[in-house]
Structure 1
Amino acid sequence: MQAHEADRTSVRKLLDAAQRNLADAQIAELSADNRFDAAYKCIVQCAMLGLWGHGFRTATSQPGHHQTAIQCLSLTMAVPQATVIVLAAAAQCHRLCGRPRAAGRAQFVPGGSRQAAGAHAGLVEAPAT
């Protein structure tokens, strides 16, 4: 972990990106791979926002920085541990087989990318201004 002071503009941009990815994860016309990838991105973006809100960020040069951010959700955003376990499993699936298909890699067809990203959809609702 590294100390990080996020500015309002950066937070807004990441929140907007998370909202777009959550919306994309719900588009039935997209392939399962792309929906899952959008859901995963939303999860990671929410986890990063949680860390930023507490003055930290993960070291992107370190392997597993996405997983670390997700595992901190129970501390940074009071996400129930049971949900964190599901989100961490989604991250593991993404790492192993959920990215868009590469040559020679089997395609992963998620059963609930929308549910994974939307498990805590309130995390990406814009704050009242």
Structure 2
Amino acid sequence: MTDPVPTPIAELGAVVLDCPDPRALAAFYAGILGGTVEDEDGGDWVDLKLPGGRTLAFQAAPGHVPPKWPASGDSQQFHLDLTVTDLDAAEKGVLALGATPLDTEDRSRAWRVYADPAGHPFCLCAC
């Protein structure tokens, strides 16, 4: 038996990433996910309006320290799982955009781990 689903009290508006250069990181993710980059306040906050209505936003953080992955004593803070149909083709694309591979040991898995140009981890996951 499953628990009843509670009535939601909110709806997810945007996922926001702190970074040193919001415009550059928005362009990186636009290259992966598509969408439209909207910069209305001079670059301290940039929205990436994604197909389907979601927003991935980027906020200037001058003292940004990238999360560590993997690190048993430190938190990765969060990561994004991005679904793809062809891992090898997607990998070539994200590397060309400036991603850094974080885990190249096991190529048999259905996912691979990278860091974006600001150091946030993300996974390409085969659907």
Tell me the TM-score normalized by structure 2: 0.23
Name the structure, 1 or 2, with higher relative contact order (CA <8 Å, separation 6+): 1
Q: Which structure has the highest strand share of the two?
A: 2
Structure (1 or 2) with the greater helix fraction:
1
Larger gyration radius, structure 1 or structure 2: 2
